[in-house]
Amino acid sequence: MQKLAKREEQIMHSLWKLEKAFIKEIIEELPDPKPHYNTTATIVKILEEKGFISHVKYGNTFQYYPLITKEVYQKEIVGEVVNNYFDSSPLALVKFFAKEEKINTQELEEIIQLIKNKK
pLDDT for res 87: 94
CB of 56 closer than 8 Å to CB of 65:
yes
pLDDT for res 2: 86
The answer on pLDDT for 119 being more than 80 is: no
User: How far is Cα 30 from Cα 9, in angstroms, rounded to an integer?
Assistant: 10
pLDDT for res 17: 97
CA 25 to chain centre: 18
Contact partners, residue 17, CB within 8 Å, separation at least 6: 29
CB of 23 closer than 8 Å to CB of 37:
yes
User: How far is Cα 49 from Cα 69, in angstroms, rounded to an integer?
Assistant: 16
pLDDT for res 101: 81
Q: What's the pLDDT tens digit per position in 19-52?
A: 999 999 999 999 999 999 999 999 999 999 999 9
pLDDT for res 42: 98
Q: What's the pLDDT tens digit per position in 60-70?
A: 999 999 999 99
Q: What is the pTM of this model?
A: 0.84
- If pLDDT is split at 50, 70 and 90, which confidence band does 118 have? confident
Hey, what domains does the chain have and what are their CATH numbers?
6-66 (1.10.10.10), 70-118 (1.10.4040)
Q: Which residues of 32-46 are buried (b: 16+ CB within 10 A; e: fewer)?
A: eeebeeeebbebbeb
pLDDT for res 100: 85
User: How far is Cα 27 from Cα 107, in angstroms, rounded to an integer?
Assistant: 35
Q: What's the pLDDT tens digit per position in 76-111?
A: 999 999 999 999 998 899 889 888 888 888 988 998
User: How far is Cα 60 from Cα 76, in angstroms, rounded to an integer?
Assistant: 35
